[in-house]
Amino acid sequence: MSQIILIFNLPDAAYAINSQRLKSTWLLKIKSAEALTNSNTIAINSSSWFKLPEYERVPYLMQAIKLKCEDLSVSEL
């Protein structure tokens, strides 16, 4: 089964300062995109992304996708 996963590169302003959790307005935008496109999403903090060395970026994305797919398979049970 194939599925679409949208990857959002979000600014620091999208995250709460203390917890680094997505702010509600950004979470709503992401949930809306999921609903409108019938897809799943991964949010990436742009500051964290650019701090990663080039060789760690693809494995980071692959891990995020793997975790998202595992979450989806567990929720379907």
pLDDT, mean of each 10-residue run, the chain (77 residues): 86 92 95 93 93 95 89 65
Q: How many structural domains comprise the chain?
A: 1
Say how far apart CA 46 and CA 59 lie, in whole Å. Answer: 16
How remote is the C-alpha of 12 from its chain's centroid?
A: 14
* Residue 8: partners with Cβ closer than 8 Å, 6 or more residues away: 30, 33, 41, 42, 43, 44
Q: Which domain holds residue 24?
A: 5-74
Cβ atoms of 43 and 30 closer than 8 Å: yes
Q: Which two tokens stand for residue 34?
A: 């999921």
pTM score: 0.78
Say how far apart CA 32 and CA 22 lie, in whole Å. Answer: 14
pLDDT at 55: 96
